[in-house]
Each structure stands twice: as structure tokens, then as C-alpha cells.
Amino acid sequence: MIRLEPFTPSDFNQLIEWITNERLMKEWSGSLFSFPLTEESLAWYLEGANDFKRPEVFVYKAVDTKSQEVVGHISLGGISERDKAGRITRVLVGSKAERGKGVCTKMIKGMLKIGFEDLGLHRISLGVYDFNEAAIRCYLKAGFKQEGLMRDVVKHGDEYWSMVEMGILEDEWRAMKKAGSDAEPSSGC
């Protein structure tokens, strides 16, 4: 079981340890951060975060409820109260030992629960680079639909990366939940 808890300054060093190279930094954060990741940039990232009264961005760590170890990181931002929409970003299963064990899907489902139940969103989207097949499988399993491909949106070194756009609507999430496709992880919020 995975529990999402607010990401705080006490979690900075763990995340910094996970982001070991420039390519991983770009895969995880797009162009939001520069490598190497620093405590100063993470402090900026948290400004105004996790405020349900003024929802702009929610930043969480994923905690394994059995071991109590932090195993991942996820955020929900780009929140539009008018459109009832948000965007999942910066998804990382940081613990290499936990990769391939369903942690990503549990993190995504926990964030969907927060977005749809706690924030009352209607739509949640995300973007994933087309070469990240494991992440695409995770998002499909969590109920996202592939909506399109943005070609050559990011340049890294001498190569261009394309991004798969994905989304899920509130009624699709509720139908999945009702059908009982996996137990929902607790959000800890």
C-alpha cells in the first residue's frame, strides 16, 4: 500500500539523491529545474504548495505503508478552478528496488483520488515522453487515455523527444473505481 503525504523540506535530500544525472532531471521535470537539483530550487518549488484554500499545486512523497520508507514523488499542478482541471507532473518512483512493483500506478491512483474527490476536478491530464514505455503502461493501467502526440517538443543533446498527451475524466475514474479495478491507495491528506 502507498500513502501520499505532503512533500516538505525534510524530503529534499532524498529527492536530490534520486536525481543522479541531467537526462533523468529532464525526464522528471521537463525544464522546471536545472541539474543538479538543489535545496534552493526545491524550496521555490514548494512555495504556495499544498494549500487546499488556494489550490495551485500539490506536491507529495509516496510512502510505503509497510516499511514507512519514501519510495516516490508526484505532483498535481496547473489547476484551473474555472475549468475544473489539473495536470499530474513530476512522477518518479525513486527507489529502484520498488520499480516494476505497481508503485507508480498506486501513486497515480492516489493523486486521482485527491484531484477528483478532494479538489472536485473534472479532468486530469499528463504528458510523458514517448520512449518511457513503463510510465505509459502505468498511466494506462490507472485509467488514462492516450489523446495525442506532440512531436519533437524537447531537445536533449542532439536528439528530440516527443510527448504523449494523456487524460482521464471524472466519470471515467468513477466508473473504474466502481468496477473495483484495484483498491484505491490512501492519500494521507
| Domains along the chain with CATH numbers | 2-179 (3.40.630.30)
Provide the pLDDT confidence category of residue 181 given band limits of 50, 70 and 90: low
Q: Tell me what pLDDT residue 164 has.
A: 98
List, as own/partner pairs, every contact residues 76-82 make where C-beta atoms lie below 8 angstroms and the sequence separation is at least 24, other chains included: 76/111, 76/114, 76/115, 76/119, 76/124, 79/55, 79/119, 79/121, 81/55
Is the pLDDT at 162 greater than 50, yes or no? yes
In sequence order, the β-bridge partners of residue 75 are 59, 89
Q: Tell me what pLDDT residue 52 has.
A: 81
What letter would DSSP give residue 10?
G
Segment 42-46 mean pLDDT: 93
Segment 173-178 mean pLDDT: 93
Q: Give the residue among 170, 91, 162, 175 at the shortest CA–CA distance from 131.
A: 162
Given the C-alpha cell 525513486, which residue does it identify? 94
Q: Which amino acid is at 165?
A: E
Q: Cis ω on the peptide bond leading into residue 36 (within 30° of 0)?
A: yes
Q: Name the pTM for this structure.
A: 0.90
Is the pLDDT at 188 greater than 60, yes or no? no
Q: How many other C-beta atoms lie within 10 A of the C-beta of residue 67?
A: 10
What letter would DSSP give residue 37?
P
Q: Give the residue among 157, 32, 152 at the shortest CA–CA distance from 92.
A: 32
Q: Tell me what pLDDT residue 187 has.
A: 43
pLDDT digits (tens, 9 = 90+) for 145-160: 999 999 999 999 999 9
Integer Cα distance of 111 and 90 in angstroms: 12
Q: Tell me what pLDDT residue 97 has.
A: 75
pLDDT digits (tens, 9 = 90+) for 93-146: 987 777 888 899 999 999 999 999 999 999 999 999 999 999 999 999 999 999
Q: Tell me what pLDDT residue 183 has.
A: 42
pLDDT digits (tens, 9 = 90+) for 51-100: 887 778 999 999 999 999 999 999 999 999 999 999 999 999 987 777 88
